[in-house]
Amino acid sequence: MNIFDRTGKMAIGSRLRLLTAKITDDASKIYELYNVDFSPKWFPVFFVLSEEGAKTITEIAELIGHSQPSVTKIIKEIARAGLVKDNLKSNDKRKNVAGLTEKGKKLAEQTKVQNADVAEAVENLMMEASHNLWEAIAEWEFLLEQKSLFKRVQEQKKLREGKEVIIVPYQPQYKEAFKALNEEWISTYFEMEEADYKALDNPEEYILDKGGQILVALYQGEPVGVCALIKMNGSDYDFEMAKMAVSPKAQGKSIGWLLGQAVISTARKSGASTIYLESNTMLKPAINLYYKMGFKKVAGLPTPYKRCNIQMVLDL
């Protein structure tokens, strides 16, 4: 059985490397066929110099999409073969300029027939194939430039793990986690304040008994995130979204977003029209999350927290 039938799409890199190895091996044989002493890996650099004349290492690297160290190494190899000379005179002495030697120019002229034969052979191969590999490669290059494979896998991982997160109502068994998760993030960036201890030590009295709610995010049965919806009696706003905390070990699973959406849904079901929150602008990921949820900055209300420097409201 073909190994790639078993591995599936996750072996795309290995499969492409195998295809590249096959073509590169044939390329070496083709140069031998035309009695050309040349390494296939030199071709992009050699082609640029033969078509456009002397270039700096930086210019060559940009044109062929290689790193500067890679181009420097190839230039040195071609130079040892007598095809290229580097450190040519230039207006800027700090720049290393490379160009073809007379031997290199003769080789460039000599390989034109070979290049035409190769181009025709590749064209015939594409006509035999059901799919145009050349166009497909260009399309993949464009798409990966827009969003890398790493980023795509990262998003897929986040999506899958997010589906494993369950949001549940507060139970007394989560009291310790509610306090510990909040203490952890507050102590990391700020100092615990009196208002923190009141709410975290007595969530039933300060939040639940006053008409608020606390939601808990469970990942694989473990509480890894919490958020409170506090009733704002006597205020222009209905509820405050507060005490949102996510364990560092569970970040990257969209838990903050899931908790926020659950809090907003809960507020809507209660008939609320507004949700208020307080935060600090140094917490950029949190602020970005709130904007994504639809919160907007408002003029400040009196706050019991020294760390608060931004207040936001969401109209439901």
168 and 287 fall within a common domain = yes
φ, ψ (nearest 5 deg) of residue 224: -120, 0
CA 316 – CA 313 distance, rounded (Å): 10
Task: Provide the residue range defining the domain that includes 51.
Answer: 3-148
Quickly list DSSP for 8-20.
GGGGHHHHHHHHH
The CATH number given to whatever domain includes residue 235 is 3.40.630.30
Q: Which of 148, 169, 188 is the last residue of a domain?
A: 148
197 and 303 fall within a common domain = yes
In the chain, the number of structural domains is 2
CA 246 – CA 188 distance, rounded (Å): 13
Report residue 1's pLDDT band, with 50, 70 and 90 as the boundaries. very low
Over residues 181-208, mean pLDDT: 92
Q: Is the pTM of this model over 0.85?
A: no
Instruction: Give the pLDDT confidence of 18-44 residue by residue, as tens digits.
Output: 889 999 999 999 999 999 999 999 999
55 and 167 fall within a common domain = no
Q: 96, 56 in Cβ contact below 8 A?
A: yes
The CATH number given to whatever domain includes residue 94 is 1.10.10.10
pLDDT, residue 220, reads 87
CA 294 – CA 275 distance, rounded (Å): 10
